[in-house]
C-alpha cells in the first residue's frame, strides 16, 4: 500500500496546528487529535512536526522545562518570540532590525542561504510582580 493515508494524517496534523494558533507540545497536539477521533500515533505527530519545521511551516520554541512547543506559521517569513521563563507566555516580536542586520551581514560576508535563530526570554510583567527575578542560565 502506498501512503495516501499517511499524507492525509499529516494534513490533519497541520490543520489542527493551524486552527489552534497558539504554542502546543507534540503530546498536547496528539491528545487533541485523539480526542477528535483521529487514529494518529505520537511518533507520526513528531515526524510531521519535524517535517513542517523543515518546510518552514511552523515556529518552535523551547519551554523553560526544555520541552519543545510548536505553532503554525501563517506566512513564509519566520518570526521571533519573547517567552516568559515563569509562565511560558509567548509574544511575537517585531524583529525587523534583526532581519535587516542579518541580511546586511550576509551581503557583506558574501554568504548565501544565511539562517539565524534568536530566542528571547525574560519575566513578564505579571510574573515579575509576583516573584523576584531568578537568573536562569
Ligand atoms: Zn509570566
Ligand atoms: Zn529572523
- The size of the chain, in residues, is 137
Determine the angle formed by the axes of helices 26-35 and 4-20, rounding to 10 degrees. 110
Give distance in angstroms: CA of 115 to centre of ligand 2. Answer: 8
What pairing do the DSSP bridges indicate for beta strands 90-93 and 119-122? unpaired
Give distance in angstroms: CA of 25 to centre of ligand 2. Answer: 22
The ligand placed nearest to the CA atom of residue 133 is: 1
Residue with cell 509574544: 91
What pLDDT was estimated at residue 135?
52
Averaged pLDDT, 130-135: 58
> Would you say 136 and 122 are in contact if contact means Cβ atoms under 8 Å apart?
no
Give distance in angstroms: CA of 78 to centre of ligand 2. Answer: 6
The ligand placed nearest to the CA atom of residue 91 is: 1
What pLDDT was estimated at residue 133?
57
Lowest mean pLDDT among 26-30, 42-46, 68-72: 68-72
Give distance in angstroms: CA of 64 to centre of ligand 2. Answer: 21
Averaged pLDDT, 18-45: 93
Averaged pLDDT, 88-107: 89
What pairing do the DSSP bridges indicate for beta strands 80-84 and 119-122? parallel
pLDDT band for position 34 (50/70/90)?
very high
Amino acid at each position: 500500500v502506498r501512503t495516501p493515508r499517511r499524507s492525509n494524517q499529516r494534513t490533519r496534523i497541520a490543520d489542527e496546528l493551524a486552527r489552534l494558533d497558539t504554542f502546543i507540545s507534540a503530546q498536547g497536539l496528539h491528545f487533541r487529535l485523539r480526542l477528535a477521533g483521529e487514529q494518529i500515533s505520537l511518533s507520526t505527530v513528531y515526524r510531521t512536526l519535524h517535517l513542517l519545521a523543515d518546510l518552514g511551516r511552523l515556529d518552535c520554541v523551547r519551554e523553560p522545562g526544555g520541552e519543545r512547543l510548536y505553532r503554525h506559521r501563517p506566512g513564509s517569513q519566520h518570526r521571533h518570540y519573547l517567552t516568559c521563563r515563569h509562565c511560558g507566555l509567548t509574544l511575537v516580536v517585531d524583529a525587523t532590525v534583526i532581519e535587516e542586520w542579518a541580511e546586511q551581514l550576509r551581503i557583506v560576508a558574501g554568504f548565501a542561504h544565511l539562517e539565524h535563530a534568536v530566542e528571547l526570554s525574560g519575566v513578564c510583567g505579571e510574573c515579575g510582580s509576583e516573584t523576584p527575578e531568578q537568573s536562569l542560565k
